[in-house]
Structure 1
Amino acid sequence: MEHGTKNLRDNKFKRVSSKDALLFDIFDKGLYALVILSIFIFVLWPMLAVIKESIFRDGTITLDLYKNLFGENKKILFNSLFIATIVTIISTVISYFIALYISFSKNKGKKIVLLTLLLTMISPPFVSSLAYITLFGRRGLITHKLLHLSINPYGWKGVVLMQCFGHISFATLILIGVMKTIDKNMVKASLDLGGNPLQTLFKVIIPLSKPGIIVSVLITFVKSLSDFGTPIIIGGDFTVLATEAYLNIAGSSNLSKAAAINVLLLIPALIAFVVYSFYMKNLQGFSYMSLKSPDSGEETLKFPKIFNSIIVFITWFFVIFMLVQYASIILSAFLNYSGNKYYFTLEYFKNFKYGKLKSVLRSVIYSFIAAVLGSLIGVLISYYIDRRNFVGNKLVDFISTLPYMLPGPFLGLGYILAFNDYPLALTGTASIVVLNCIFKQIPIATKAGSALMKNISIETENAAKDVGAHNIFVIKDIVFPMLKPAFAISAVNFFTATMTTVGAIIFLITPSAKVATVEMFNDIKSGNYGLGSVWATIIIIITLLVNITFSKMLLNNGEKESKKNVSRT
Structure 2
Amino acid sequence: MKIEKNRVSNKIGTHFLNFIDKLILLTILFLVIIFIFYPMLSVISKSFIVNGEFTLDIYKSLLNKNIMLLKNSLFVAILTTLISTLLSIAVSIYISFTNSKYKKILTTILMLTMISPPFVSSLAYISLFGRRGFITHNILGFTANTYGWQGIVAMQSLGFTSLNALMLIGVINGIDKSLFNSSLDLGGNSSHTISKILIPLMRHGIIIVGLLTFVRSLADFSTPIIIGGSFNVLATQAYLNVVAYSNLPMAAAISILLFIPAIIAFILYRIFLKDSNIITGTNFREESDETMLRIEGFFPRLLQIISYLFLTMMILQYLSIFISAMTKQRFGTMYFTFDNIKESKNYISGSFLRSIIYSLITGVVGSIIGFLISYYLEIRKIKGMKIIDFISTMPYIIPGTFFGLGYILAFNKYPLELTGTGLIVILNCIFKQLPLPTKASSAVISQINPQVTEACKDLGAHDIYILKDVITPMSKSAFLISFVNNFTATMTTIGSIIFLVYPGKKLATLVMFDAIQSGKYRIGSVIACMLILITLVVNIIFSKFLLEEKNVY
Q: 2:181 aligns with which of 182, 191, 207?
A: 191
* In structure 1, distance between residues paired with 2:286 and 2:435: 33
Partner of 1:224: 217
Secondary structure, aligned partner of 2:420: coil
- Say whether the 8 Å CA contact 1:95–1:169 is kept in structure 2: yes
For residue 192 of structure 1, report the CA deviation from its aligned partner: 6.7
* In structure 1, distance between residues paired with 2:13 and 2:204: 37
Cα 1:400–1:192, aligned 2, differ >3 Å: closer, same or farther? closer
The normalised TM-score by structure 1 is 0.79
* In structure 2, distance between residues paired with 1:37 and 1:423: 15
- Say whether the 8 Å CA contact 1:242–1:407 is kept in structure 2: no
Partner of 1:362: 354
The range that moved more, 84-93 or 266-275, is 84-93
Q: 1:464 aligns with which of 449, 452, 469?
A: 452
Partner of 2:418: 426
Partner of 1:334: 326
Deviations 1:417-475 (A, max 9, x none): 3223333333333322211112222344445667x58x966xx6443344345766489
* In structure 1, distance between residues paired with 2:545 and 2:301: 28
- Say whether the 8 Å CA contact 1:218–1:272 is kept in structure 2: yes
- Say whether the 8 Å CA contact 2:407–2:428 is kept in structure 1: yes
* In structure 1, distance between residues paired with 2:339 and 2:233: 38
- Say whether the 8 Å CA contact 1:159–1:235 is kept in structure 2: yes
1:347 aligned onto 2:350: no
Deviations 1:52-96 (A, max 9, x none): 333333333333212343344333223323322332333334334
- Say whether the 8 Å CA contact 2:243–2:499 is kept in structure 1: no
* In structure 1, distance between residues paired with 2:206 and 2:479: 18
Partner of 1:241: 234
For residue 542 of structure 1, report the CA deviation from its aligned partner: 1.0
* In structure 2, distance between residues paired with 1:295 and 1:321: 27
For residue 305 of structure 1, report the CA deviation from its aligned partner: 0.9
Secondary structure, aligned partner of 1:336: strand
* In structure 2, distance between residues paired with 1:52 and 1:138: 44
Deviations 1:225-276 (A, max 9, x none): 1100111112223222211111111221111111111111111112212222
Cα 1:386–1:82, aligned 2, differ >3 Å: closer, same or farther? farther
* In structure 2, distance between residues paired with 1:380 and 1:208: 33
After TM superposition, the structure 1 = structure 2 runs for residues 127-146 of structure 1, keeping only pairs within 5 Å, are: 127-146=120-139
Partner of 2:535: 543
Q: 1:317 aligns with which of 309, 314, 317?
A: 309
- Say whether the 8 Å CA contact 2:77–2:218 is kept in structure 1: yes
Q: 2:39 aligns with which of 8, 31, 46?
A: 46
- Say whether the 8 Å CA contact 1:359–1:514 is kept in structure 2: yes
1:66 aligned onto 2:56: no
Tell me the number of residue pairs that the alignment of Structure 1 and Structure 2 aligns.
528
* In structure 2, distance between residues paired with 1:439 and 1:417: 16
Deviations 1:367-415 (A, max 9, x none): 122223324434554565677373373575156314642243x433432
Partner of 1:524: 516
- Say whether the 8 Å CA contact 1:91–1:167 is kept in structure 2: yes
1:305 aligned onto 2:296: yes
1:391 aligned onto 2:379: no
The range that moved more, 245-254 or 399-408, is 399-408
After TM superposition, the structure 1 = structure 2 runs for residues 443-522 of structure 1, keeping only pairs within 5 Å, are: 443-446=435-438, 452=443, 461-468=449-456, 473=466, 484=477, 490-522=482-514
Secondary structure, aligned partner of 2:500: coil
* In structure 1, distance between residues paired with 2:540 and 2:385: 38
For residue 163 of structure 1, report the CA deviation from its aligned partner: 0.9
Partner of 1:80: 73
- Say whether the 8 Å CA contact 1:136–1:143 is kept in structure 2: yes
* In structure 2, distance between residues paired with 1:302 and 1:171: 22
Partner of 2:117: 124
Cα 1:346–1:423, aligned 2, differ >3 Å: closer, same or farther? same
* In structure 2, distance between residues paired with 1:204 and 1:389: 40
* In structure 2, distance between residues paired with 1:376 and 1:261: 34
Deviations 1:476-508 (A, max 9, x none): 857985794x76665444222211223432333
Secondary structure, aligned partner of 1:424: coil
Partner of 2:268: 275
For residue 107 of structure 1, report the CA deviation from its aligned partner: 4.4
Secondary structure, aligned partner of 2:356: helix
* In structure 2, distance between residues paired with 1:475 and 1:89: 46
- Say whether the 8 Å CA contact 1:70–1:264 is kept in structure 2: no
The range that moved more, 157-166 or 186-195, is 186-195
Deviations 1:155-180 (A, max 9, x none): 22221111122112223333445555
Secondary structure, aligned partner of 2:101: coil
* In structure 1, distance between residues paired with 2:486 and 2:44: 26
Cα 1:66–1:128, aligned 2, differ >3 Å: closer, same or farther? same
* In structure 2, distance between residues paired with 1:223 and 1:134: 24
Corresponding letter in the other structure for 1:496: T
Partner of 1:166: 159
- Say whether the 8 Å CA contact 1:101–1:312 is kept in structure 2: yes
* In structure 1, distance between residues paired with 2:119 and 2:245: 21
Secondary structure, aligned partner of 2:335: strand
- Say whether the 8 Å CA contact 1:370–1:498 is kept in structure 2: yes
* In structure 1, distance between residues paired with 2:416 and 2:128: 47
Secondary structure, aligned partner of 1:267: helix
Q: 1:108 aligns with which of 69, 82, 101?
A: 101
- Say whether the 8 Å CA contact 1:228–1:407 is kept in structure 2: no
Corresponding letter in the other structure for 2:430: I
Higher relative CO (Cα under 8 Å, sequence separation at least 6) belongs to: 1
The normalised TM-score by structure 2 is 0.81
